[in-house]
A = this chain, B = another copy of it.
Amino acid sequence: MVVAPSGVGKTSLTRRLVSDHGDLHLSISATTREPRPGEHDGRDYHFVSRDKFQSMLSEDAFLEWAEVYGNFYGSPKAPIMDALNRGESVLFDIDFQGAMKVHKQAGPDSVLVYILPPSLAEMSRRLHTRSQDSEEVIHRRLSRAKDEVAAWEQFDYVILNDDFDRAYADLAHIYHAERLKRARNPWIGDLVNDLLREEI
Contacts and interface: CB of A to CB of B under 8 A. Distances in A.
A4 interface: no
A78 interface: no
A149 interface: yes
A60 to B, nearest CB: 33
A12 B75 CA distance: 45
B181 A157 contact: yes
B182 A155 contact: yes
A178 B178 CA distance: 10
Interface stretch (A38-46, A47-55, A97-105, A186-194): A186-194
Contacts of A117: 195
Q: How many copies does the complex hold?
A: 2
Contacts of A194: 119
A132 interface: no
B181 A149 contact: no
A198 interface: yes
A198 B159 contact: no
Contacts of A177: 157, 173-174, 176-178
A195 B118 CA distance: 8
Interface residues of A, number: 42
A71 interface: no
Contacts of A153: 182, 189
Contacts of A116: 188, 191-192, 195
A59 B130 CA distance: 63
19 contacts: A116-B192, A117-B195, A120-B200, A146-B200, A150-B192, A152-B189, A153-B189, A156-B181, A156-B182, A158-B188, A159-B180, A160-B188, A170-B176, A172-B173, A173-B173, A173-B176, A173-B177, A176-B177, A177-B177
